[in-house]
Each structure stands twice: as structure tokens, then as C-alpha cells.
Amino acid sequence: MTRLLLKGGTVVSPEGREAADVLIEDGKILRVAAGISDGVDETLDARGLHVLPGVLDPHVHFREPGFTQKEDLFTGSKACASGGVTSFFEMPNTRPATTTRALLAEKKALAAAKCLVNYNFFIGASKDNLEELDAVENVPGIKVFMGSSTGDLLVESADSLERIFAAGRRLIAVHAEDESVLEEAKSRFPSPSVLDHPRLRSVEAALSAVRRAAGLAIKYRRRLHLLHVTSTEEAAFLSENASPLISAEVTPQHLLLSWPEAYERLGTLAQVNPPVREARHAESLWKALREGVIQCIATDHAPHTLDEKKKPYPSSPSGMPGVETSLPLLLDQAAKGRCSVENVAAWMSENPARLFGAAGKGRVAPGFDADVVLVDLKKTRRVGEGGTQTKCGWSPFDGLPLTGWPVATIVGGQVVFREGDFDLTVRGREIVVQ
Ligand code: DOR
Ligand code: ZN
């Protein structure tokens, strides 16, 4: 087996940073120490660079099968590689929706053939697939849409929800917007503009669903992960009702964009479910993240073509891409002093790995998988400069100068991305979830 040495970099963990070389063998990290030189076949010069655990993005939509005009597993995973994302968990609202073991196996087979980074897939809850949810193996969890969003996976009735929480043990990841509150708001806005999006999908809708889901998790002692929390009120609820059973994520767009500014500037490109809200919410989300009330960052990478996005609101679909920009956006926040690079390693790698039980992921340390990203904390570049990898070809952050960019991405010990070039022969592996 060839031994790859990352030489002369600064290794970052949630606890701190140290000048150290990283020796990789057979897809694993063998040693992390200063001055390694023996038995090396290949050396990658990491001087001046920081060595971070590769990002594990626990929430992406890669659209295959069914919507490959927006993205597919190859382009989505290539976008991951360029963004320092070495592992992803993908959502079931494809066509067909991933609601059976057989469909899940088909997705995994596609991923094995096409993905440049490591992968696994949520199974979707529908009204009538309890047996599948119970029997499925090696998935990060069960995805439940409590409110309708892109696609037709929706579990709104109290009975169906109750049954899902009552049966089985696997983690349940919830899109928490209450369908009845969403429906009621629609009647109050007969001809809405995109600026009404957060009114149509209110804090009340989100909070009501979070309360219901948390109540069920406690009642049935079930592990619950709340997807994309967006408001002060949800963060306060989570802080007051902290439980080892409940975890939560936040997206870069909800931390960094706000109403009305983003909507006035970007129109429907800012449209996402749950919505980007007033700046006070973003402030609360940062605070919740710093305090550990929200433990991780996920992109909710949800690409749509520009043609689709340009339909007049509300016919325009909700969602925006994210895997190419999540790490640079957070490193840029670290450069601005809003958080530390150690925080970024915790929020984007170690914590998601721990929360979902992703074996061997989340740290640059001996015995862990060699999923690593080398970043240049001083490099400034504009989003979109030099092109994008996601098939949708746009970002809500296009043109924004950011400081802190991935220079090389290593998946299972193989250099998949380096200075703008890709090794398209690299393949990721199915992530083992314990
Ligand atoms: O904005 C969103 N887009 N929210 C979702 O819940 C789904 C996603 C998508 O798949 O487009
Ligand atoms: Zn999503």
C-alpha cells in the first residue's frame, strides 16, 4: 500500500491546532506527528496550509434519480470535493422517493459507481412504509417532512407521526414546519410576492412542529434530529428542552442571509424552506451554535435550475445549492473573528460524525479514515470565480469575496481535488452508521 504524507501543515481539531505531519496508509490516518519522514511513497506539501477533517454534510439533495437536470450524484459529489466535503447524507425526495429498501439499494449502487466522496442516504417516511423503516439497514436515519416542501413526501397526521416515532429505534430527522399552519397562512396571502415567503412559512409553523417532534421523541425515547432550525424561538425552545435525544442543525444561508435584504437582492434565489428570516434570527442561531444548543452545520444543498428558479413566486421552487460554499463561508466567518477554525472543525466534521454515529469520520487522528481537507486560510477568492461544479450553476453567494478556501481534498487517502483539478477516478465509499 502506498503511504501518503501531508508534510508541514497545521492540524486542526475542535480542541486546538498543532504543527504536524499526517501519514496516511490504506485509506486511514496512521500517524500525526512532527517530523515524519520514513517509509513515505508520496508527499503533499502542506506548508502554510491547515489540515482539517473533511466536512461531513448531513443534509443534501442530489436529485438522482428523477431530477438530474438539477444535479446528479456525480456532479453533486464533485461539488463536494471542491468544497472540502468528503462525506454526505442525501435526502429521499428524489423520483421515485427513497421509501423502500430496494430503492435505497439502487441509490447506493448508483453512488458506488459515481460518487467522488463518501455517501449514505436517508430513507423517507411515507404514510404507509413503516415496515421498510423498521427493517432498513445502514442509513443515517429516517427523514420525515412534517410540512410540504419540494416533492410529495409528507407525514402530517398525528397518527402517522405517532406510529413512526413508536416503531423502531433509528434516528428520525425532521423537516419541522407544521402543515396545518402553512395551509392556514396560504389563505391569508392570496397573491404573495417572494418577500412574503417568511410570512407564508412562519416561525409559528416551525416552532409548532419542533414542539410536536420533540414531544414525540421524549415520549418514545427516540433519537430526533431537527433539520435546518431557522428562528430565535426554536433555539430558545431547544435550549429550554435540552435532551441527549435531540440534536439540531443550522445552514450557512440561515446564519448569513436575512429578510428583507436577501429577497430584495436575490428574488426567488433566496427562496428556501424553511425560509431565511429577519437578522435577529440569524443572531440567535449563531448564539445557539456557540452554546451547543445547535450542534452542527448542514447545507441543505437543494439545487434547482435557474429557469426553474425564475418562475414567478410562488411557482418558483424552494432551495439553493451549498456544498461548494459551506466551508469557505464558515472559514471566512472565522477570518472575520465570528468563530474559530476549531469551531468549524467541530460544527462541520466532528459533531455531525458523532451525532449520526458515522464510524471513522470527523477527526484527523490515528485510526480515523483519511478524509481530509487542506485549506488556505489566507486565500481570498470570489464565489463563482473559476466556475462552479454543481449542475445548477449558481449560488446565492455568487460574487462574494471569501477568505479561506480548500486547496486539496482527500477522500479515503486519495487526492480527489487539488488546486482546481479533479481526479475523476476516485470513488467514495458507503459510510457506516453505527
Ligand atoms: O428549500 C427546500 N428545498 N426545502 C426543502 O425542504 C426541500 C428542498 C428541495 O429538495 O428542493
Ligand atoms: Zn432539505
Model confidence pLDDT, tens digit, residues 88-139: 999 999 999 999 999 999 999 999 999 999 999 999 999 889 999 989 999 9
Catalytic option among 300, 369, 371, 376: 300
Specify whether 44 is located in the same domain as 61: no
Residue 256, pLDDT score: 99
Q: Is residue 432 part of a domain?
A: no
Q: Is residue 433 part of a domain?
A: no
Ligand 1 within 6 A of 61 CB? yes
Given CA atoms 278, 283, 289, 294 in this order, what sign does their dihedral have?
Answer: negative
Specify whether 45 is located in the same domain as 168: no
Ligand 1 within 6 A of 273 CB? yes
Ligand 1 within 6 A of 271 CB? no
Q: Is residue 429 part of a domain?
A: no
Residue 300 CA: which ligand is closest? 2
In the chain, what is the straight-line distance between the N-terminal and C-terminal CA atoms, in Å?
27
Exposed, middle or buried by CB within 10 Å (0-12, 13-18, 19+), for 213? buried
Specify whether 350 is located in the same domain as 379: no
Q: Ligand 1: which of 90, 95, 146, 150 to mutate, judged by most atoms within 8 Å of the beta carbon?
A: 150
Residues of the chain with pLDDT below 70 are: 1
Please tell me the residue having the least CA distance from ligand 1 atom 3. Answer: 319
The domain that holds 390 is classified in CATH as 2.30.40.10
Ligand 1 within 6 A of 230 CB? no
What separation in Å is there between the alpha carbon of 189 and the centre of ligand 1?
21
Domain span at 31: 3-51+365-422
Specify whether 109 is located in the same domain as 120: yes
In b/e form, how buried is each residue of 31-69, taking b as 16+ CB within 10 angstroms? ebeeebeeebeeebebeebbbbbbbbbbbbbbbbeebbe
Q: Ligand 1: which of 64, 95, 273, 323 to mutate, judged by most atoms within 8 Å of the beta carbon?
A: 273
Specify whether 75 is located in the same domain as 153: yes
Specify whether 194 is located in the same domain as 111: yes
> What atom of ligand 1 comes closest to residue 304's alpha carbon?
11
Residues with CB under 5 A from ligand 2 (ion): 300
Spatial contact of 88 and 323, defined as CB atoms under 8 Å apart: yes
Residue 157, pLDDT score: 86
Q: How far apart are the C-alpha atoms of 416 and 324, rounded to whole Å?
A: 14
> What atom of ligand 1 comes closest to residue 63's alpha carbon?
10
Specify whether 60 is located in the same domain as 154: yes
What separation in Å is there between the alpha carbon of 271 and the centre of ligand 1?
10
Residue 137, pLDDT score: 97
Whole-angstrom Cα Rg for the chain: 21
C-alpha cell at 205: 409553523
User: Which of 329, 356, 383 marks a domain boundary?
Assistant: 356
Instruction: Please list, in sequence order, all residues whose beta carbon lies within 8 angstroms of the beta carbon of residue 3, skipping any fewer than 6 positions away.
Output: 23, 24, 25, 30, 39, 40, 41, 42
Residue 132, pLDDT score: 97
What separation in Å is there between the alpha carbon of 248 and the centre of ligand 2?
13
Specify whether 251 is located in the same domain as 230: yes
To the query of whether residue 300 is one of the catalytic residues in this protein, the response is yes
Specify whether 209 is located in the same domain as 322: yes
Ligand 1 within 6 A of 253 CB? no
Count of CA atoms in the C-beta half-sphere (13 A) of 114: 20
Q: How far apart are the C-alpha atoms of 1 and 391, rounded to whole Å?
A: 35
Residue 228 CA: which ligand is closest? 2
Specify whether 331 is located in the same domain as 377: no
What separation in Å is there between the alpha carbon of 91 and the centre of ligand 2?
7
Q: Ligand 1: which of 59, 71, 149 to mutate, judged by most atoms within 8 Å of the beta carbon?
A: 149
CA 155 to chain centroid: 22
Domain total in the chain: 2
Specify whether 221 is located in the same domain as 369: no
The domain that holds 209 is classified in CATH as 3.20.20.140
User: Which of 308, 327, 356 marks a domain boundary?
Assistant: 356
Amino acid at 65: P
Specify whether 238 is located in the same domain as 146: yes
Residue 367, pLDDT score: 98
Q: Is residue 83 part of a domain?
A: yes
Count of CA atoms in the C-beta half-sphere (13 A) of 360: 20
Ligand 1 within 6 A of 251 CB? no
Share in percent of the chain as helix, strand, coil (round to 5): 35, 25, 40
Residue 275 CA: which ligand is closest? 1
Q: How far apart are the C-alpha atoms of 79 and 62, rounded to whole Å?
A: 10
- Is the pTM higher than 0.85? The answer reads yes
Please tell me the residue having the least CA distance from ligand 1 atom 7. Answer: 150
Q: Is residue 427 part of a domain?
A: no
